Amino acid sequence: METGDRPQSSDAERTAKAGRQSLFLDALARRYRTALNRFFERRAPSFRHDSEDLTQEVFVRLARRGGEHEIEQVEQYLFQTARSVLMDHHRRRTTRHQNEHEPYEDEAHAVEDFSPERVLLGRDQVETVRRALADMPERVRGAFVLHRFEDLTYAEIAARLGVSVSSVEKYIIRALRDITEWTKGEL
């Protein structure tokens, strides 16, 4: 046999071995996929949505290992690998604090445009409200700030300012009217 024939033979052997391994893995997947999914769903209900990925990881590890003929008890080997995959998955989630993460939901987040023009407009609006507040009588401004920025109830504001709840209501109405007038004047 010449040295030029050897790589071809080696390539052919590798191709044949890869083909056998692929057939072996396909047969195992058809036979054990459902059982492995149930294994993960029973042992880790919180990972139920990950069971298919975890099952796939078992087969990936088996493919990396190679040597399908060296496994004497395939079923035991698969489920031992599944236990390892589950422990690794749990360890990764714990390390990364994945249980503490909140999923991103479009509905909970503004889809506003934060262009320079939008930012400038927002700053202008804040400045208008600031000027309107500075122009208000002290009690009106105080009642509005306590209600809107410190979240106090009308009764709490009344007790703090030493006035009636009715007076606080009037202060808030006046503050809102003054801010509205300032805003209209700025437009």
Say what angle helices 138-148 and 154-161 make with each other, to 10 degrees. Answer: 140
What confidence tens digit (pLDDT) does each residue in 86-126 have? Answer: 898 888 877 876 666 677 777 766 666 677 888 888 898 88
| Own/partner pairs, 130-138, CB within 8 angstroms, 24+ separation | 131/182, 132/178, 132/179, 132/181, 132/182, 132/183, 133/175, 133/179, 135/178, 135/182, 136/174, 136/175, 136/178
- Distance, in Å, from the CA atom of 89 to the CA atom of 107, rounded to the nearest integer, reads 30
Determine which of 1-15, 45-59, 69-83, 121-135 has the lowest per-residue pLDDT on average: 1-15
Determine which of 63-77, 102-116, 131-145, 167-181 has the lowest per-residue pLDDT on average: 102-116
User: Residue 115 carries which side chain, given as an amino acid letter?
Assistant: S
What confidence tens digit (pLDDT) does each residue in 131-162 have? Answer: 999 999 999 999 999 999 899 999 999 999 99
- Distance, in Å, from the CA atom of 174 to the CA atom of 143, rounded to the nearest integer, reads 10
Question: Which domain CATH number covers 158?
Answer: 1.10.10.10
Q: pTM surpassing 0.75? A: no
> Which tokens hold the place of 72?
């004497």
Same domain, 30 and 76: yes
Q: Which of 82, 98, 114 is the last residue of a domain?
A: 98
Residue with tokens 């479009």: 106
59 pLDDT exceeds 60?
Answer: yes
Mean pLDDT, range 61-88, rounded to an integer: 83
- Distance, in Å, from the CA atom of 22 to the CA atom of 74, rounded to the nearest integer, reads 15
The whole domain housing 49 covers 14-98
Query: Mean pLDDT over all residues of the chain?
Result: 82
